[in-house]
Structure formats: structure tokens, C-alpha cells
């Protein structure tokens, strides 16, 4: 691969940070995206540079198509002879509630951030991947999008949408040497799961524990590499056997 540049959205969160660090370790120049947590993005940048890696920070709202397009246009002006060959659509939010109590805004914001952002950002980067006949698109989805979880009709709907889009896009761009895959974490020890009863929930997991962000990052790193060149349209679970 002669163009090792990877954009990781939500790079200031736990999973995003682990992905950024792992890709940098594998030789990628990493674009660390953040929306609201500049401090964590800076910490990730310093860790990568401190380990001899290469990275930069980018800031925009993934749910705002104008900001997404503006980011890539500006980046291309500053880097006219380069393109981003790996895209990790990791940014996401949740706003859990039973549907009977769910507010319109809870539905809309989750769909915009978790599903619409996939379209906005992937479409922005896809043309250069097609022209260069190389690309890796990796979407971080969720166990909730595969099996559904009560209180998460918005989140499950958004992630299920990304799973379907992953499978469809993989068939559209495979002949251009672009792979499109999804990584589906289960219970991972992050801020999103900190209020869950880990002692009780881990009993449902065959491996009897929650996963770590690094375990998700390892799978993303594999899919971003040429070792995964014959894998596309796949949804790879990282859930300790909880759902297969």
C-alpha cells in the first residue's frame, strides 16, 4: 500500500482512540477526528507522536453534511497529491429510551449521527478511492444493530441501517479493489457501558467478561490491512460469543 492514510471518526472516544493508536502502530498517518472532546484528541495525538507515529487532528460534526464536505475539500486543497485510503466510521452516540417515551429529537439525533454520517463521509471519500483503485471502509456497528436491544430502537435502527449499507456498498465497489466491512462490538468496557451492571451482564457472555477497546481495534487494524484483501461485505462480531 503506497498511501497509508486513515481517518478515524470519533477518535477521541475509547474505541476510537484504541483504533487510532493501533493504525498508527501499523504505519498509517492517522487523521484523529473529534467533535466535542478536543482534549482527548490531543492526548491521542501526543501518544501517537510520542511512539514515533504520524497523525493530525481534524474537527467537524459528522451529522452535518456541509461540515463533512467542507472538511474533505479543505484537506484536499492542503494535500493535493494525497488521498485517504482507509475510513473508519466509528463516531456514534446513543440516547436510550423505550419507544413509547422516546422524543423525536432522541430518534433524529441518533439516526443523523450514526447512520446519515456514514453516507456523508463515505461518499465524500469514495471518489478518490475509486480513482486510485484502492480503499478500505470499516464501519463500527453494534450488537444492538444485529439483534436489537430494548430501549434502543433508535440506536439499533441506525446500526442495522449501516450493516445493510455495508453489504450493499461492498457489492458496488469490490471491482475497484475497495473492501467494505463492519465490526460489531458487544459489551466493551467504555463510557457507553459504564452504567451497566457488568457483574450481571458478563454472565450472559460465553467468555465471561466485557471486551476492551483494544480488542475491537485489533479487528479494525486487520480489516485495514492487505491481510484482509479477500474479505468484504462481512460483519465481524467482537462480543465474546454473546451473539453469533
As given in the structure block, the three cell numbers for residue 196 are: 451497566
Share of the chain above pLDDT 70, in %: 99
| Averaged pLDDT score across all residues of the chain | 96
Residue 27 DSSP SS3: coil
Q: Which of 120, 155, 187, 243 is catalytic?
A: 155
Taking the CA atoms of residue 68, residue 144, residue 15 and residue 65 in that order, the dihedral angle to the nearest 10 degrees is 0
Decide if 58 contacts 38 (C-beta within 8 A).
no
What is the rounded distance in angstroms from the CA atom of residue 176 to the CA atom of residue 73? 23
Place of cell 446513543: 94
- The pLDDT tens digits of the residues spanning 75-92 come to 999 999 999 999 999 999
Cβ-in-10-Å burial (0-12, 13-18, 19+) of 120 comes to buried
pLDDT in tens, 183-198: 999 999 988 888 889 9
What is the model's pLDDT at position 244?
Answer: 86
Domain count, the chain: 1
| 191 found inside a domain | yes
Residue 22 included in any domain: yes
Instruction: Look up the domain containing 197 and give its range.
Output: 5-238
The arithmetic mean of pLDDT across residues 66-80, rounded, is 97
Confidence of residue 68 (pLDDT cuts 50, 70, 90): very high
CA atoms of 205 and 240, how far apart (whole Å): 6
Identify whether 243 is part of a domain. no
CATH of the domain at 23: 3.40.50.720
243 is catalytic: no
Amino acid at each position: 500500500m503506497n498511501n497509508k492514510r486513515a481517518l478515524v471518526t470519533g477518535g477521541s472516544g475509547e474505541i476510537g482512540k484504541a483504533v487510532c493508536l493501533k493504525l498508527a502502530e501499523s504505519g498509517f498517518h492517522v487523521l484523529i477526528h473529534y467533535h466535542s472532546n478536543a482534549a482527548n484528541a490531543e492526548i491521542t495525538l501526543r501518544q501517537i507522536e510520542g511512539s514515533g507515529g504520524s497523525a493530525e487532528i481534524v474537527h467537524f460534526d459528522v451529522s452535518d453534511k456541509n461540515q463533512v464536505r467542507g472538511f474533505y475539500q479543505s484537506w484536499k486543497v492542503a494535500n493535493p497529491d494525497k488521498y485517504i485510503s482507509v475510513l473508519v466510521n466509528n463516531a456514534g452516540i446513543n440516547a436510550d429510551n423505550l419507544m413509547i417515551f422516546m422524543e423525536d429529537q432522541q430518534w433524529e439525533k441518533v439516526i443523523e449521527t450514526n447512520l446519515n454520517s456514514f453516507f456523508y463521509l463515505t461518499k465524500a471519500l469514495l471518489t478518490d478511492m475509486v480513482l486510485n483503485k484502492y480503499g478500505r471502509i470499516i464501519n463500527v456497528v453494534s450488537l444492538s444493530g444485529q439483534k436489537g436491544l430494548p430501549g434502543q430502537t433508535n440506536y439499533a435502527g441506525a446500526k442495522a441501517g449501516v450493516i445493510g449499507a455495508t453489504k450493499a456498498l461492498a457489492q458496488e465497489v469490490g471491482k475497484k479493489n475497495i473492501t467494505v466491512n463492519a465490526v460489531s462490538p458487544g459489551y466493551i468496557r467504555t463510557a457507553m457501558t459504564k452504567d451497566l451492571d457488568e457483574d450481571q451482564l458478563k454472565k450472559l457472555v460465553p467468555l465471561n467478561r466485557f471486551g476492551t477497546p483494544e480488542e475491537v481495534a485489533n479487528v479494525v487494524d486487520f480489516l485495514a490491512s492487505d491481510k484482509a484483501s479477500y474479505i468484504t461485505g462481512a460483519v465481524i462480531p467482537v462480543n465474546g460469543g454473546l451473539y453469533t
